[in-house]
Amino acid sequence: MKWRSLQESGSYSDARPLRQIFAERKETIAKYVPPDVQAVHQRAIDGLRAQALSGKALAVGAKALAFNLSDHEGKHVSSANLLSSGRLVVCVIRGRWCPFCVGQMEAMNYIVPQIKAAGAALVAISPQIEKQAFFMHDQHGLSFPLLVDAHNDVARQFGLVYRVPEEQQGLYRATFVNLPFTNGDESWELPIPATFVIDRDGTVLFAAANEDYTGRPEPLEILSVLERVG
């Protein structure tokens, strides 16, 4: 299962605010997805909010633990190595089947040159297996690594992991979002989406985690953080 981007040419150039792009996708979902199906997803979001999961996530001022993961091509990526030469932007996403993850990745890809100019690097982390990460990277022409977080080990360190409710599992199966296949395990666990800016000493300078997978920080907000801290 994959979300086919609105930009099929492979050259993404949509400079609109992410909230505007997401609003367009929400309108499409509202138009074509049955209300009872939308209600299941909303109940899942409400359940996560009741647990205040975002409040348990890594916060500004905390120290992010170092991680070592493989990327979409099987290459080893170390956060320590990346931080040795600058700050690090980390996006934790659900997978290539999520239209909002795709939208965020395309929007972040658009500002990679500015991130690099600010002396930082960008990576995304998801629980999907290497093959799925490769497909996502290739299909959407991404210019930064998609890291494979098997069993959500790093996302768990960041305080982001939850188990998909049984009701929502049934919907995902019906719509060919086969998480055991895409993630390579039977846990039915996902991270809530989150974005972090990490300083060279591991200190979190910016943190945005959201139980609602349709809410992500604006790319320009990330750039403003990098520019502010110099």
Question: C-alpha 150: how far from its chain's center?
Answer: 15
The whole-model pTM stands at 0.92
pLDDT tens digits along 59-118: 999 999 999 999 999 999 999 999 999 999 999 999 999 999 999 999 999 999 999 999
pLDDT of residue 53: 93
pLDDT of residue 8: 40
- Residues 126-137 have a mean pLDDT of 98
Is residue 229 very low, low, confident or very high in pLDDT (cuts 50, 70, 90)?
confident
Structural domain boundaries in the chain: 18-229
What's the whole-number mean pLDDT along residues 173-184? 91
Angle between helix 18-32 and 99-110 (nearest 10): 160
- Indicate if the pLDDT at residue 176 is higher than 90: no
Question: Sorting pLDDT into bands at 50, 70 and 90, what band is 16?
Answer: confident
CB 102 within 8 A of CB 1: no
Q: Is the pLDDT confidence value at 191 over 50?
A: yes
Instruction: Specify the CATH architecture of the domain 18-229.
Output: 3-Layer(aba) Sandwich (3.40)
Q: Which residues are paired to 70 by β-bridges? A: 76, 148
Task: For residue 40, give the nearest of 24, 25, 53, 29 by alpha carbon.
Answer: 29
For residue 48, pLDDT over 90 is answered with yes
Strands 161-163 and 189-191: antiparallel
Reported confidence tier of residue 3, pLDDT bands at 50, 70, 90: very low
Confidence of residue 43 (pLDDT cuts 50, 70, 90): very high
